[in-house]
């Protein structure tokens, strides 16, 4: 593990991605403080307001940071446009229950507003709580199941192995997204947002464990013949204890790399469900349901800033993939050393 970590630290791209993911996770955890508004704070008068410009100069003089008022008008093509009202200034206030906010009646939209006048920046940070946590929790549960099932199948072999592997093949046989839709359709419509959140985690965990179980089973077939496993058997150690303490720990290096590479799939699955209205529901925010407005080509044409969640999904998926690739590359020398011993 130490050599793997040392090899990982030498990969600068992976370290940068790790810092980016860390910043996203911290921002999501402290969204209540870092955002100027709540995820459900609406201002219908500012529907699809473009990103707000923060000013520090007024009439040629340096001033406290402020924003001008926004006045909505329609152009000759009857398109909604916002014009700065320079007769109305609203100063930005810092560290008053939130990191920053703006004096009423002004509004500050760093990344623009959605159709209900809600701040997209605030909703992205709140949505990160859902999108990131579903990926992390879901993959943890599915990998725990995959490790246990694969370990049992590889250690015992025979009929137990045959039954468990056929079960894995049945799960893997159904296309993932269609299985996801089928399981989501079984969830009652009366569920509240917390219950929907929990059900999505369970669904994603159910469809993600089979692939890992097959790989771990193959590793355990060779590990069960090692001397330390045979010695533990001769000492009368129970089979489950041998699996948990002598076999599965030797698969951690591979499992960690595979876990990182699997998380993007969970995030994209949740985003796809929320995008088509089967995931997290308004007013609660997730990166997927924030993109539902972009399915209207007219809104997307005149308000392209509603695509900001795509950028954060892309960055998150790319970072997990880079870290997963770095961990996978770091695993190879440690596995070779283990085999030479």
Q: Looking at residue 335, what is its pLDDT? A: 42
- The partner residues of 93 in beta bridges, in order of sequence, read 101
The verdict on 263 and 128 lying in the same domain is yes
* Confidence at 338, pLDDT banded by 50, 70, 90: very low
Q: Looking at residue 115, what is its pLDDT? A: 86
Range of the domain at 189: 2-30+120-340
In a domain, 23, yes or no: yes
The verdict on 222 and 326 lying in the same domain is yes
* Residue of 48, 119, 111 whose CA lies nearest to 82: 48
Q: Looking at residue 21, what is its pLDDT? A: 93
In a domain, 144, yes or no: yes
Residue 230 has pLDDT above 60, yes or no: yes
The pLDDT tens digits of the residues spanning 160-208 come to 889 999 988 888 887 777 777 777 777 777 777 777 888 888 887 877 7
The pLDDT tens digits of the residues spanning 118-146 come to 999 999 999 999 889 888 888 888 888 88
Query: What's the rounded Cα separation, in Å, for the pair 302 and 299?
Result: 5
**Hey, how many other C-beta atoms are within 10 angstroms of the C-beta on 326?**
24
* Confidence at 30, pLDDT banded by 50, 70, 90: very high
In a domain, 38, yes or no: no
Q: Looking at residue 4, what is its pLDDT? A: 60
The verdict on 168 and 256 lying in the same domain is yes
Residue 1 has pLDDT above 80, yes or no: no
pTM of the entire predicted model: 0.83
The verdict on 179 and 67 lying in the same domain is no
Q: 56-76: b or e for each residue (b if 16 or more CB lie within 10 Å)?
A: eeeeeeeeeebbbbbeeeeee
The verdict on 133 and 193 lying in the same domain is yes
Q: What percent of the chain has pLDDT over 70?
A: 94
Number of independent structural domains in the chain: 2
The verdict on 66 and 126 lying in the same domain is no
Residue 71 has pLDDT above 60, yes or no: yes
φ, ψ of residue 280 to 5 degrees: the values are -65, 135
Residue 229 has pLDDT above 90, yes or no: no
* Confidence at 20, pLDDT banded by 50, 70, 90: very high
**Residue-averaged pLDDT of the chain:** 84
Residue 326 has pLDDT above 50, yes or no: yes
The verdict on 65 and 138 lying in the same domain is no
Q: How much is the average pLDDT of 137-162? A: 87
In a domain, 46, yes or no: no
In a domain, 112, yes or no: no
The length of the chain is 341
The verdict on 63 and 188 lying in the same domain is no
Identify the helix (H) or strand (E) that includes residue 189.
Answer: none
In a domain, 263, yes or no: yes
Environment class of residue 146 by beta-carbon count within 10 Å: exposed (0-12), middle (13-18) or buried (19+)? buried
Q: Looking at residue 341, what is its pLDDT? A: 36
The verdict on 84 and 181 lying in the same domain is no
**Ramachandran region, residue 69 (left: φ > 0; alpha: ψ -120 to 50; beta: rest):** beta
The verdict on 85 and 186 lying in the same domain is no
* Confidence at 26, pLDDT banded by 50, 70, 90: very high
Query: What's the rounded Cα separation, in Å, for the pair 243 and 237?
Result: 10
What is the dihedral angle through the alpha carbons of 171, 173, 175, 179, rounded to the nearest 10 degrees?
A: -30
How many CA atoms are closer than 13 Å to the CA of 183, on its beta-carbon side? Answer: 23
Q: Looking at residue 154, what is its pLDDT? A: 87
3-state SS class at 70: strand
CATH number for the domain including 150? Answer: 1.10.3720.10
Query: What's the rounded Cα separation, in Å, for the pair 28 and 260?
Result: 19
* Confidence at 334, pLDDT banded by 50, 70, 90: very low
The verdict on 74 and 195 lying in the same domain is no
The verdict on 26 and 95 lying in the same domain is no
Q: Looking at residue 340, what is its pLDDT? A: 38
CA 159, distance to chain mean position in Å, is 38
In a domain, 37, yes or no: no
In a domain, 89, yes or no: yes
């Amino acid at each position: 593990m130490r050599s793997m970590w040392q090899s990982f630290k030498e990969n600068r791209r992976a370290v940068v991605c790790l810092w980016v993911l860390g910043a996203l996770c911290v921002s999501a955890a402290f969204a209540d403080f870092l955002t100027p508004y709540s995820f459900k704070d609406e201002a219908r008068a500012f529907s699809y307001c473009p990103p707000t410009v923060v000013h520090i100069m007024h009439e040629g003089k340096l001033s406290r940071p402020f924003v001008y008022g926004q006045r909505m008008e329609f152009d000759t093509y009857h398109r909604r446009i916002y014009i700065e009202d320079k007769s109305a200034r609203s100063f930005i206030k810092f560290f008053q229950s939130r990191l920053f906010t703006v004096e009423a009646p002004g509004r500050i939209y760093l990344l623009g507003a959605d159709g209900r006048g809600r701040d997209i920046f605030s909703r992205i940070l709140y949505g990160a709580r859902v999108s990131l946590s579903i990926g992390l929790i879901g993959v943890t549960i599915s990998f725990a199941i995959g490790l246990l099932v694969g370990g049992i199948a590889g250690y015992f072999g025979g009929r137990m192995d045959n039954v468990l592997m056929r079960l894995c093949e049945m799960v893997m046989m159904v296309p993932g997204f269609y299985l996801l839709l089928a399981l989501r359709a079984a969830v009652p419509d009366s569920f509240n947002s917390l219950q929907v959140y929990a059900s999505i985690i369970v669904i994603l965990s159910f469809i993600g464990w089979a692939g890992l179980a097959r790989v771990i089973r193959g590793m355990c077939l060779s590990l069960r013949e090692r001397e330390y496993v045979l010695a533990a058997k001769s000492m009368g150690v129970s089979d489950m204890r041998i699996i948990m303490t002598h076999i599965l720990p030797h698969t951690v290096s591979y499992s960690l790399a595979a876990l990182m590479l699997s998380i993007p799939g969970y995030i994209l699955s949740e985003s796809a469900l929320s995008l088509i209205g089967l995931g997290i529901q308004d007013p609660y925010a997730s990166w997927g349901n924030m993109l539902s407005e972009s399915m209207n080509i007219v809104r997307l044409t005149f308000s392209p800033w509603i695509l900001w969640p795509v950028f954060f999904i892309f960055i998150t998926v790319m970072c997990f993939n880079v870290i997963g690739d770095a961990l996978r590359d770091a695993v190879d020398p440690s596995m070779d050393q283990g085999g030479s011993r």
